[in-house]
Amino acid sequence: MDFGLTETQELIRNSAREFLADRSDSSVVRAVANGDTEALASLWKDVVELGWPALTIAKEHGGAGLSFSDLAVLLTELGASLAPTPIVESAITSRIIERYGSDALKSDLLPQAAEGDVLITPAILERDVSWEADSATMAATRTNNGLVITGEKRFVSFAEQATHVLTLVRTDGGEPALVVVPIWKSTGVDQTPLEHVSGVPVSSLTFNEVEVSEANIVATGDEAIAATDELVAAGAVARATQLAGLGRAVVEATVDYTANREQFGQAVGSFQAVQHHLAEMAIAAKQVNHLVHSAAWSFSQDGYSVERAAQAKIAASEKISALCWTAHQCHGAIGFTWEHDLHLYTRRALAWKTDYGDSAFHKSKLATSLGL
Amino acid sequence: MDFGLTETQELIRNSAREFLADRSDSSVVRAVANGDTEALASLWKDVVELGWPALTIAKEHGGAGLSFSDLAVLLTELGASLAPTPIVESAITSRIIERYGSDALKSDLLPQAAEGDVLITPAILERDVSWEADSATMAATRTNNGLVITGEKRFVSFAEQATHVLTLVRTDGGEPALVVVPIWKSTGVDQTPLEHVSGVPVSSLTFNEVEVSEANIVATGDEAIAATDELVAAGAVARATQLAGLGRAVVEATVDYTANREQFGQAVGSFQAVQHHLAEMAIAAKQVNHLVHSAAWSFSQDGYSVERAAQAKIAASEKISALCWTAHQCHGAIGFTWEHDLHLYTRRALAWKTDYGDSAFHKSKLATSLGL
Amino acid sequence: MRFEFTAEENDFRRQISEFLDDVLPDNWGGSTYMSDDDSWAMDQQFRNELVKRKWLVMSWPKQYGGSDSSPMMNTIFADEMAYRRAPGLDGFGTRMLGPTLMAFGNEEQRTQHLGAIARGEVQWCQGYSEPNSGSDLASIQTRAVLDGDEFVINGAKIWTTMGHRADMMFMLVRTNPDEPLHAGISLLLVDMKTLGIEVKPIVNMADIHHFNQVIFDDVRVPKANLVGDLNDGWRVGMTILNHERSGIEFAAGARAAIEELIVYINNDDSPVSQAKSDPNIRIKIAELSTEVEAARLLCYDVTWRHGEGLEPSFEASMSKVAGTEIYQKVLDFGLEILGMYGGLIVGSPQAELQGRFLKMRMLSTATTIFSGTNEIQKNIIAQRGLGLPRIRRAAKTT
Amino acid sequence: MRFEFTAEENDFRRQISEFLDDVLPDNWGGSTYMSDDDSWAMDQQFRNELVKRKWLVMSWPKQYGGSDSSPMMNTIFADEMAYRRAPGLDGFGTRMLGPTLMAFGNEEQRTQHLGAIARGEVQWCQGYSEPNSGSDLASIQTRAVLDGDEFVINGAKIWTTMGHRADMMFMLVRTNPDEPLHAGISLLLVDMKTLGIEVKPIVNMADIHHFNQVIFDDVRVPKANLVGDLNDGWRVGMTILNHERSGIEFAAGARAAIEELIVYINNDDSPVSQAKSDPNIRIKIAELSTEVEAARLLCYDVTWRHGEGLEPSFEASMSKVAGTEIYQKVLDFGLEILGMYGGLIVGSPQAELQGRFLKMRMLSTATTIFSGTNEIQKNIIAQRGLGLPRIRRAAKTT
């Protein structure tokens, strides 16, 4: 066991902190939440420049070939800064294509993804908002050249910025297929932008007889289910890792506020009730931090630990949003204002809590894995 | 709404407090827990003298004809004193016989129950310890004269003191029957005394071809199920009411201890963490108190509120045992000793928490009742 | 003990309910998410309806235009109104200032203000909190200096709900800076149109403008606007805070939310209708509805005590803690049931239950903070309710 | 970062496990519920086995009979032993006194005591708490007065675990009554057979005799038994408390309990086997196992910090709080699963899982109280860990 950062990881962390402090302060977060797509695009350009989308893509495909564990270090910083940029979407779709896709598809897409020339985002959920791969119903008809897709996917993050979606369909025979759809070049794809608590772009997409070539099929049958499960697990750990960073930032902000705000002639943070709130918040943040890094460690080129992924998301979903609410309690009235940044964290925590499976979903996965 | 006691209720409360302070202090509770059956019998004799078993039995059957709401006032005091005496068992079996039994059975048993000449205790649970009436499997064969019973019932309170049990069997045709078995006069009934956390006698009973006359059948078929459901609900509310009293007593004892124990030059009870523990305990105790009296009020001669009964037991089961553990935390080391009385409350709370259905059982009942 | 309402009480509850059936729009989700002029207009219109039915100040004595109705009737009214999220109530005028003027105001003040409140003609706001005095109200710094027949006020108030709609403010000011904390404070009535008052909006985390900061720059107020004695404002002002606070609105809001959720998941058209057969959801709803009932009974206990002439001081703290905590829990659970839909904002395409649960959860954040944080309420319960001692001196805790 | 153990560490864990497979009785539930002579004999026998394998003092330097094993190896050892509820460990001698003598003892004291501890020949106990000094240790009143070459001790210690089995005690005494709290305290080593010592049993709420009260009536102890400097005992004694405390035993106990429950409900012979398909039970087990893993990682973090030479002070408080709370929760849940069987006591007919969960839950009550209550641990986390200030003076909280 080693809870310390490697040299590479320290480098990632320090450069991320420096960059994000400058380029993703709360004014940028607020601008993007207000629909400023230029701010978002500009941040993405810089992020590409730093090589973050390339981080975990194999060297042979133009990436840096770093591990999911290394990525996790970056994700905590992205979480702490609430950076509105689709690194998670990019990293997990790249991973699934790398692990399940054909050599041709990999050679085609991964170098472009590493360069930021394409952005592939997952499109999994349908009307029943279930993360269970089995529940996908979007119809795909087989043709000589590939598939023709008709149906709807909901809650697709950064769909407005994405060039492709990685989506799960069900073909005529009932067989599932995981497929990359180049939405920027396809006809028949319509977007409905949603107004979402996350403060980043989220849309629903309708597919009306959208043609996709055979080459874009990543996996079919049981393999498509396994790949989707892995996509969801990777997304869950990534969101949990962002939540870990977010939680750390909220603890720090709350310590800072309560140590300085005075009432009854005392720093508010000297009252035992507030100290105990903060002690419990700090324990929770540290626990989530360890669980997410343990889960991230388990993601290798051979697979991942279903248990650790579930535990990371269960703990992050429950503890970090609860921690945000307790932070509000410690901040009192000032934290209830729009002007104060605290609610930006709370909103993002609410979004990430549910994204890629809420705690109930992952508890059920974990229970099965524990032999129940 | 009236949260105050009626004159009758004040009388019941005051006389119960006075009597129990004298006759059921912790030395008596400890003696009975150590198997002193004479102490138990002597307390029962006095309790009969006071007319407590007769309290809710109708006047026409030799009782006092008071309401379940009046009984609840007595039960809180019994709970607060941990009095080891089978008033709950007596009261709820009397109620079910009065509501569902034949006139002959009522005229036979109720006056004797009121006088304490018979003691009827419920025997519902089997090996799977389910309080669901439908799950009873103990076999009864129909004969010309009645039933012949073979099987086992577990966790029968005060079976050693009881003259009769009120038990649920399943006849050859699969039809359930609720029946009074005079175990003091029957052959084929064996007792296995259990060692139980409650500190009162609890046994398992085996029935080996035990003959019971037709006249002792209280109800059959759907009516037997309904009667058993009501028995369990009444037992649940009664135990919840005892828990309410127990909780009140533990809050009082903990206030008393923490207000006087000093550490760091302060009364322990002046620390905000301890004050908040106690504030939450006090809220819980008051909530449970109100819920149990609301539930008890709903028990009339026409039936009862399924929702209120469930809510009372859910809250009492969860909040009062939790409150006891917090009391241990506030007491520190001294409350961890055998010599200190606190664990007597904790043990009884653990027993009552599960008796007549734990919170999970009643939540399921309540959810169904709420239309889910 | 009697755990049911009288026939008269049930009848009254029915009347309110029928009235609300009539006047509330379909699918009414509460005015809480409308901070615009329309919602203010609707509030005014509702208040007129309440005046017509003689409900607005029903708890007041007949001589001031009320009906001398019992505390139980008043709580039933508040319960039903909050349960339906009805607008039109006027907490500041009818429930806070009115009773205070009856107790401490002089004849002229009563004549001038009570009738207007009873007729729903005037909107009051409350000037208590200051930027550096939140939980610790006694430390307020806004000064009022007597200059001839007028007080001259300088300072700032904050968290002034409805400050931008109000005609009048009742406010605590420091009239004697040499006295220790509580002793140098007075209560003044101030016309919001007086020269030198500036109202700055504060938008809350649910993106709604309820609060304001109110700046006082040499604001001159007639001496006659002093309520009670000079420097006795702490006693007068705290009476306002303690008056008839049953906390029923939180339990009522929780009850409404949980019933709405049950109906919602039982509707097969709901995209998350599978929740209704999920045993974990069933159990959780049972648990929450038990807590709601537990909180509700605490409120009616406070009301009953009030009717019996008993002092319900720490019991009100209990009902506030229990009510606000369960209200937040029920809303959290609503978001949980809604899953990804819980993240959609009011007005978003594909929002379920109009996105109201998210907005309500945001708004509910304040309930455990304002009117005395729940931490302070627990101190009150422990000290006033249970008689536990205060810390004697600096604690050495480690 | 690396979230896995080395091959060597895994191998060592396997060795311990195989050893315990060999020597533990079938269905072993832990010596915790055996307070009789048999369990003491078993403990002694196990300790000899540990000595044979060179595990008892493996963390000590080679010069004192140890193996200089790493903190990580030590925690793995503690983890596995606690997970199997194995007897034979000697916390007082090997983990508390030994390292303290290495740091503060003189050559003679080391020679006299370290070898005996390493060979498992002597049982130590700890004399810290007093009837009026529990959480507030610095207020101890037991006096030791120098009289020639001897200290004369008068007073009483309480909660002395193993006091009735111990050969020796290390104890805090007040040697300068005029000094403020911490400054007048010294650490003495005392032979329990010395004239004037009376050991009175205290039975705990689980009906087990672990604790004792120890009365000192003019007990004469050689001056040479002073460890460290006179009146420097607070520093010496606190080192004992802080030494290598990872808290892994609580997480290990919780892990063992939850795994046992999973096996138990998966067994169709179990009367409560319907629990395995109850979605609420499934969810709850997933939740608890997540919490157990979260607590376990905190312990290994403390261990890792220790190995890196970093100061793990408030991190140890975190692992203590998290470990003890989840341990109690898991046991509560075990009783919940057992339903009515949860109420049966060890030895009762029809008891399930030998009635052990009830006994363990009773025993676990102490874990959140002893070695610094969890409330005090949270103060430490807030103040030492997060840097929050202490109260400056009496707080006016209402």
Residue from B262, B299, B304, B372 whose CB has the most chain C CBs within 10 Å, to mutate: B372
Residues C67 and C182 reside in one and the same domain: no
Chain B residue numbers with beta carbons less than 8 Å from the beta carbon of D336 are 358, 360
> Are residue D296 and residue D373 in the same domain, yes or no?
yes
Is residue C226 within a helix (H) or strand (E), and if so which, with residue range? Answer: strand C226-227
pLDDT at C396: 45
Percentage above 90 pLDDT, chain C: 82
CB contact under 8 A, A350 and C280: no
Q: State pTM to two decimals.
A: 0.96
Segment B343-359, tens digit of pLDDT:
999 999 999 999 999 99
pLDDT-based confidence at A47, cuts 50/70/90? very high
Do residue A128 and residue C375 have CB atoms under 8 angstroms apart?
A: no
Contact D391 C390 (CB under 8 A): no
**Is B328 in the D-facing interface, judged by CB distances under 8 Å?**
yes
| Nearest chain B Cα distance for residue C275, angstroms | 9
Q: Would you state the structure tokens that stand for residue B95, as one six-digit string?
A: 């109620």
Looking only at the bridges linking them, the beta strands covering B164-171 and B217-220 are unpaired
3-state class of C201 per DSSP?
A: strand
Residue C280 domain flag:
yes
Residues A350, C342: C-beta atoms closer than 8 Å? yes
Where chain C has pLDDT below 50, the residues are 33-34, 395-398
Q: Which chains touch D (3 or more CB pairs under 8 A)?
A: A, B, C
- Helix-strand-coil split of chain A, %, nearest 5: 60, 15, 25
* Tens place of pLDDT per residue across chain B (372 aa): 999 999 999 999 999 999 999 999 999 999 999 999 999 999 999 999 999 999 999 999 999 999 999 999 999 999 999 999 999 999 999 999 999 999 999 999 999 999 999 999 999 999 999 999 999 999 999 999 999 999 999 999 999 999 999 999 999 889 999 999 999 999 999 999 999 999 999 999 999 999 999 999 999 999 999 999 999 999 999 999 999 999 999 999 999 999 999 888 889 999 999 999 999 999 999 999 999 999 999 998 889 999 999 999 999 999 999 999 999 999 999 999 999 999 999 999 999 999 999 999 999 999 999 998
Residue A302 is predicted with a pLDDT of 86
Nearest-Cα distance to chain D for A290, in Å, is: 6
Q: Which of residues 238-267 of C touch D (CB under 8 A)?
A: none
Out of C265, C279, C388, name the one closest to residue B275 (CB): C388
Distance of alpha carbon D247 from alpha carbon D306, whole angstroms: 13
Q: Nearest by CB to B338, which of D204, D335, D345?
A: D204
Nearest to A332 among C139, C203, C373 (CB): C373
Is residue C105 assigned to a domain?
no
Q: Are A315 and A288 a contacting pair, CB within 8 Å?
A: yes
* pLDDT score recorded for residue D32: 58
Nearest-CA residue of chain B relative to A275?
B273
Q: What residues of B are in contact with residue D358 (Cβ under 8 Å)?
A: 197, 350
What's the structural domain count of chain C?
Answer: 3
Total number of residues shown for chain A: 372
The pLDDT of residue C245: 74
By CA distance, what is A272's nearest residue in C? C397
Q: Which amino acid is at C12?
A: F
| Sequence ranges of the domains in chain A | 7-115, 120-223, 229-369
The encoded tokens of residue B319 equal 């909040």
Q: Do B358 and D136 touch (CB under 8 A)?
A: no
The mean per-residue pLDDT over the stretch A220-248 comes to: 98
A17/B contact by beta carbon, under 8 A: no
- Locate the chain B residue with the closest alpha carbon to A276: B273
Confidence at residue D393, expressed as pLDDT on a 0 to 100 scale:
57
Q: Tally Cβ neighbours within 10 Å of residue C7.
A: 8
Instruction: Please report, for the domain that includes residue D371, its CATH number.
Output: 1.20.140.10
| Distance set, CA D204 to CA D35, D73, D320, D364, D370 (Å) | 11, 33, 22, 11, 13
Same domain, C232 and C255: no
Could you tell me the CATH number of the domain that includes residue D154? 2.40.110.10
Task: State the residue range of the domain holding C222.
Answer: 124-237
Check residue C51 and give its pLDDT. 97
Amino acid identity of residue C323, one-letter, is G
**Which chain A residue is nearest to residue C131, measuring alpha carbons?**
A334
More confident residue, A290 or C137: A290
Q: What one-character-per-residue DSSP string does B143-163 give? A: -SSEEEEEEEEEEEETTTT-S
Where does residue D116 rank: exposed (0-12), middle (13-18), buried (19+ CB within 10 A)? middle
B120-223 in CATH: which number? Answer: 2.40.110.10
**Contact partners of C by the rule of 3+ C-beta pairs under 8 A?**
A, B, D
**What pLDDT does D397 receive?**
44
Which residue in D386, D393, D396 has the most chain A C-beta atoms within 10 A of its own C-beta, making it the best mutation to test that interface? Answer: D386
- Residue C96 located in a structural domain: no
- Residues from chain B that touch D343, judged by Cβ atoms under 8 A, are 155, 196-198, 202, 350-351, 354
Give the pLDDT of residue D398. Answer: 40
Task: Give the C-alpha separation, D219 to A92, whole Å.
Answer: 71
List C residues 311-370 in contact with D (Cβ-Cβ < 8 A).
none
Do C65 and C145 have their domain in common? Answer: no
Closest Cβ opposite residue B125 in set D158, D202, D340: D340
Hey, which residues 23-82 in chain A have their CB within 8 Å of chain D? Answer: 69, 73
Q: Do D322 and A287 touch (CB under 8 A)?
A: yes
Please give the class, per CATH, of domain B7-115. mainly alpha
Nearest to D293 among A251, A291, A293 (CB): A291
Mean pLDDT is lowest, of A116-125, C60-69, C193-202, D233-242, for: D233-242
Would residue C393 count as lying in a domain?
no
pLDDT in tens, C234-244: 998 887 666 55
Nearest chain D residue to C139, by CA = D396
C355 and C266 in a single domain? The answer is: yes
Cβ density class C274-302: b for 16+ within 10 Å, e for less? ebbebbbbbbbbbbbbbbbbbbbbbbbbb
Whether the CB of B34 is below 8 Å from some CB of chain A: the reply is: no
Query: Is this complex scored with an ipTM above 0.85?
Result: yes
DSSP states of A43-102 as a string? HHHHHHHTTGGGTTS-GGGTS----HHHHHHHHHHHHHHT----HHHHHHHHHHHHHHS-
Of C336, C347, C369, the CB nearest to A336: C369
| Average of per-residue pLDDT across A342-353 | 98
Nearest Cβ partner of B278 from C291, C386, C396? Answer: C386
Last residue of a domain, one of C237, C256, C282: C237
Instruction: Tell me, yes or no, whether C17 and C51 share the same domain.
Output: yes
Q: From CA B8, how far away is CA B13, in angstroms rounded?
A: 9
Give the domain-ending residue among C39, C71, C89. C89
Tell me if A129 and C136 make a contact (CB, 8 A cut-off).
no
Angle at B150 between CA B148 and CA B155, to 5 degrees: 125
SS3 for B62-84 is CCCCCCHHHHHHHHHHHHHHCCC
- Quick check: D398 contacting B, CB < 8 Å? no
C217 domain-assigned:
yes
CA of C3 vs chain B CAs: smallest distance (Å): 5
- Where a domain ends, among D206, D237, D268? D237
Per-residue DSSP letter, C148: T
D270 and D308 co-located in one domain: yes
Query: What end-to-end distance do the CA atoms of chain B give, in Å?
Result: 29
Report the length, in residues, of chain D: 398
Please give the average per-residue pLDDT across A86-91, as a whole number.
98
C-alpha radius of gyration, chain A, whole number: 21
Tokens of D228: 């460290």
Q: Is D83 on the interface with B (CB under 8 A)?
A: no
The C-alpha of C289 sits at a distance from chain D's nearest C-alpha, in angstroms, of 18
- Report the alpha-carbon distance of residue C302 to residue D340 in Å, rounded: 37
Q: What share of chain D is helix, strand, coil (3-state, %, to 5)?
A: 55, 15, 30
Mutate to test the interface with B, among A263, A266, A270, A272 (most CBs of B within 10 A): A272
C233 and C274 both lie in a single domain: no
Residue D112 lies in a domain: no
Spatial separation of the C-alpha atoms in residues A372 and B19, rounded to whole Å: 52
CB contact under 8 A, D350 and B194: yes
Type of residue at D160: T
Interface residue D373 vs chain C (CB under 8 A): no
- The verdict on D357 and D378 lying in the same domain is yes
Domain identity same for D66 and D171: no
Q: CA B168, CA B135: separation in Å to the nearest integer?
A: 10
Q: Is A263 on the interface with D (CB under 8 A)?
A: no
DSSP D244-299: T---HHHHHHHHHHHHHHHHHHH-TTSTTGGGGG-HHHHHHHHHHHHHHHHHHHHH
Cα(B82)–Cα(B91) distance, integer angstroms: 17
Q: Is D288 on the interface with A (CB under 8 A)?
A: no
Which of B5, B267, B370 minimises the CB distance to C262? B370
Span A229-369: which CATH code? 1.20.140.10
* Domain annotation covers residue D94: no
Distance from CA of A365 to the nearest CA of B (A): 22
- pLDDT of A261 above 50: yes
Q: How confident is the model at residue D395 (pLDDT cuts 50, 70, 90)?
A: very low
